[in-house]
Amino acid sequence: MQTFQVYEQGSTVPEKSYNRGDWQRGYESLEKEFDYWIDDVEGEIPQELQGTLFRNGPGLLDIKGQRIHHPFDGDGMISRITFSNGRAHFRNRFVRTQEYLEEQKAGKILYRGVFGTQKPGGWLANALNFKLKNIANTNVIYWGGKLLALWEAAEPYRLEPYTLETLGKEYFNGVLSEGEAFSAHPRVDFSCAQDNGAPSLVNFSIKPGLSTTITIFELNTEGKIVRQHAHSVPGFAFIHDFAITPNYCIFFQNPVTFNPIPFVLGMRGAGECIKFQPEQPTRLIIISRNPKQKGVKIIETRAGFVFHHVNAIEREDEIVIDSLCYESLPEVQPESDFRQVDFDALKPGQLWRFHLNLKDETVHRELLVSRCCEFPTLHPQKVGRPYRYLYMGGAHAESGNAPLQAFMKVDLESGKQQLWSAAPHGFASEPIFVPRTPHIPASQGGTKGGEDDGWVLALVYDSEYHRSDVVILDAKDFHKEPIARLHLKHHVPYGLHGSFTSECFV
Ligand code: CO
């Protein structure tokens, strides 16, 4: 195994890099919707940085004072940061789902959430009530001329990219049916062989049950679903993300069981009825992207619990996949308050590499990064292909579990890591890598100026001023101070995922 050397910037952070009270304030609701040019800027926004960063995440952590049980149950709010000619513009808007509108009008919680939010009135008010809220809060993508807010358990919501107005649910010309799932973790194959080298957006849906149906969707650049194929795998599956290569989709079926009874009785959210089974293996499910290839390959291994994958590549008889693994599922407890989480009592997510041998159906794994980390990202043209650099959120301290306060760059070739930390007052989120020179086709060499020639963009919550910053890091060197730090006029509650498009919406 490689040994990884960590280089840290000099810092004056006290022994514990954060204060839980500071961290908690990043989970205050942001009710107001803003629309302004960002004037308070430290450093300089690069002129070459042109395009739009979209972010999604729970904007409301309460409905008029009634607290929701878990951030994953919070109404989706889109933040949009547009970079144009050395300036940046901010806008945020809630996704006006049917349920958001109803609850805002009523001024109270009307729907149960998957992660334990219950209607007031105890279990009697919730029993046998299976009407969950489509909260559209997990990711936002711009694809085929459509801006889509994604939530894995139902259809996407389409938004107008200039105004962020909600246009309605998206069914892709009737390919999706009412309420059909469409995951929040699509992957873009920059040069899809099945489409003569044109980009393809690959996504999936999970239909749980005693056996699970996994459906693969591939969309062309016009946003049309051009390939769709469904596969059945044994057992219940809780799958949030997947990875792709030019030929395969790879899923990790985490070792969990689902007991619906407390949910049916109105005592727990559906997500709280999932139980991690540490003695059971993880099943790695490999599905061909070619719809004519029937059947799935399943290989068992020990992998703990996985929410997110970084990337996968094909190498001779192997698929190599890099994933963030937890020793167990961080379970949501019905009586607990997520704000009171004891970080030290939980195991950190760590970066592992899995080698799946397709010939002899064996797996071997190695630990690449032991520091607590989450929200990995990479060069958009390297998805499914050999790659050298990845970026992710990380804890300030090298060991133990803690909130994300830093950004890491990992060089998979040399094993070197770089860290830029916002501790003690700053709290990190998902970073997005933006290449300096986008849109160079793979046939013309793909990247130019090196795989790390570009910027890493991210929102950082600054608890000292109770506001969020848009941070622009030079992807080549995390040891340097950020190229620019854009101070917003307010905070943005900790978000989930987002994406960048080179089109400017303002
Ligand atoms: Co995710």
Check whether 162 has a pLDDT greater than 80: yes
% residues pLDDT > 70 (the chain): 92
CA distances from 17 to 397, 406, 412, 465 (A): 7, 11, 27, 17
Distance 150 CA to ligand 1 centre (A): 11
pTM above 0.85, yes or no: yes
What pLDDT does 234 receive?
94
95 close to 103: Cβ distance less than 8 angstroms: no
Check whether 439 has a pLDDT greater than 60: no
What pLDDT does 440 receive?
56
What pLDDT does 1 receive?
32
Which residues are registered as beta bridge partners of 306?
A: 325
β-pair type (350-357, 318-326): antiparallel
Phi, psi of 274 (to 5 degrees): -90, 130
Check whether 380 has a pLDDT greater than 60: yes
DSSP-assigned letter for residue 369? E
Distance 201 CA to ligand 1 centre (A): 17
CA distances from 107 to 63, 93, 101, 102, 123 (A): 6, 18, 10, 8, 20
Closest CA to 92 of 45, 172, 38, 12: 38
Query: How wide is the angle at C-alpha 98 spanned by C-alphas 492 and 218, nearest 5°?
Result: 80
What pLDDT does 7 receive?
38
Q: How confident is the model at residue 117 (pLDDT cuts 50, 70, 90)?
A: confident
What pLDDT does 443 receive?
56
Check whether 96 has a pLDDT greater than 90: yes
Q: Select the more confidently predicted residue: 279 or 374.
A: 374
Which residues are registered as beta bridge partners of 366?
A: 353
318 close to 357: Cβ distance less than 8 angstroms: yes
Instruction: For residue 407, count other CB atoms closer than 10 A to its CB.
Output: 29
Distance 210 CA to ligand 1 centre (A): 24
93 close to 140: Cβ distance less than 8 angstroms: no
User: pLDDT tens across 323-363, in order?
Assistant: 999 987 766 666 778 888 889 888 999 999 999 999 999 99
Check whether 397 has a pLDDT greater than 60: yes
Take residue 320 and report the two structure tokens written for it: 């190599």
292 close to 218: Cβ distance less than 8 angstroms: no
Check whether 144 has a pLDDT greater than 80: yes
Average pLDDT over residues 194-215: 95
Check whether 172 has a pLDDT greater than 80: yes
β-pair type (454-462, 5-7): unpaired
Averaged pLDDT score across all residues of the chain: 91
Distance 45 CA to ligand 1 centre (A): 28
Distance 61 CA to ligand 1 centre (A): 18
Ramachandran quadrant class, 65 (left: phi over 0; alpha: psi -120 to 50; beta: rest): left
Distance 449 CA to ligand 1 centre (A): 30
Distance 208 CA to ligand 1 centre (A): 18
Distance 435 CA to ligand 1 centre (A): 22
Please state, in angstroms and rounded to a whole number, the distance separating the CA atoms of residues 130 and 128. 6
- The string over 445-483, giving b where at least 16 C-beta atoms fall within 10 Å of a residue's C-beta and e elsewhere, is ebbeeebbebbbbbbbbbbeeebbbbbbbbbbebeeebb
The domain limits of the chain are 10-501
What pLDDT does 332 receive?
64
Distance 320 CA to ligand 1 centre (A): 20
What pLDDT does 4 receive?
36
Distance 158 CA to ligand 1 centre (A): 19
For tokens 């999936």, the residue is 204
Distance 184 CA to ligand 1 centre (A): 7
Distance 174 CA to ligand 1 centre (A): 26
Distance 430 CA to ligand 1 centre (A): 10
Phi, psi of 188 (to 5 degrees): -105, 120
Please state, in angstroms and rounded to a whole number, the distance separating the CA atoms of residues 354 and 245. 14
Average pLDDT over residues 34-42: 98
Average pLDDT over residues 483-505: 98
Take residue 313 and report the two structure tokens written for it: 């590549």
% residues pLDDT > 90 (the chain): 77
Distance 204 CA to ligand 1 centre (A): 13
Take residue 44 and report the two structure tokens written for it: 């300089």
Distance 105 CA to ligand 1 centre (A): 30
Distance 348 CA to ligand 1 centre (A): 16
390 close to 377: Cβ distance less than 8 angstroms: yes
Distance 187 CA to ligand 1 centre (A): 12
Q: How confident is the model at residue 12 (pLDDT cuts 50, 70, 90)?
A: low
Range with lowest mean pLDDT among 28-37, 157-166, 268-277, 354-363: 268-277
Range with lowest mean pLDDT among 59-73, 128-142, 203-217: 128-142
Distance 241 CA to ligand 1 centre (A): 6
What pLDDT does 387 receive?
97
Distance 44 CA to ligand 1 centre (A): 31
Instruction: Please count the CA atoms within 13 angstroms of the CA of 328 that sit on its side-chain side.
Output: 14
User: pLDDT tens across 414-438, in order?
Assistant: 999 999 999 999 999 999 999 998 6
Distance 48 CA to ligand 1 centre (A): 29
Distance 12 CA to ligand 1 centre (A): 32
Average pLDDT over residues 75-93: 98
Q: How confident is the model at residue 82 (pLDDT cuts 50, 70, 90)?
A: very high
Distance 394 CA to ligand 1 centre (A): 15
Q: Provide the sign of the torsion angle of the four alpha carbons 431, 162, 58, 330, taken in this order.
A: negative
Distance 488 CA to ligand 1 centre (A): 25
Distance 251 CA to ligand 1 centre (A): 14
Distance 392 CA to ligand 1 centre (A): 13
Range with lowest mean pLDDT among 56-60, 179-183, 344-348, 380-384: 344-348
Check whether 5 has a pLDDT greater than 50: no
Q: Select the more confidently predicted residue: 353 or 68.
A: 353
Check whether 74 has a pLDDT greater than 50: yes
Distance 349 CA to ligand 1 centre (A): 13
